[in-house]
Amino acid sequence: MLIFAPFFHRDERNLDFAHSFSPEIWEEPRTRDQWPLMPFSAGTAICPGRHLVLLLTSNFLAEIIRAKDVTLTSHSLEPGSMPGLLNNFTLEFELTSPA
């Protein structure tokens, strides 16, 4: 059985941020009453590496953002223009030193 995560993550019938860049939704834990988002799956198959991933990536990104201004140059994150699916390997960023 395959659970297609974008079916849940980009469902505008249940999520008002389905097609917008909304990192603030992760500031509070989601409750069981909310529409599910499951980047690391859930239940018995949940990714055992999730805490390692979140620790490493958040620290990695924090270090970059602390030192540089980062601009996404390859895609638009404007509402309505986000692609339905995204090949992470096509992302390109420009890093500049803060003024």
Judged by CB, which is closer to ligand HEM: 2, or 99?
2
Beta-strand ranges (E) seen in the chain are 69-72, 93-96
- Binding residues for ligand HEM, per CB under 6 A? 39-41, 45, 47-49, 52-53
**CB-based contacts of 63-66 (< 8 A; 24+ apart in sequence):** 64/95
Task: Classify 71 in phi/psi space as left (phi over 0), alpha (psi -120 to 50) or beta.
Answer: beta
Least Å distance between CB 97 and ligand HEM?
A: 28
DSSP character for 80?
A: T
The residue number with the shortest CB distance to ligand HEM is 49
Judged by CB, which is closer to ligand HEM: 49, or 83?
49
Judged by CB, which is closer to ligand HEM: 42, or 81?
42
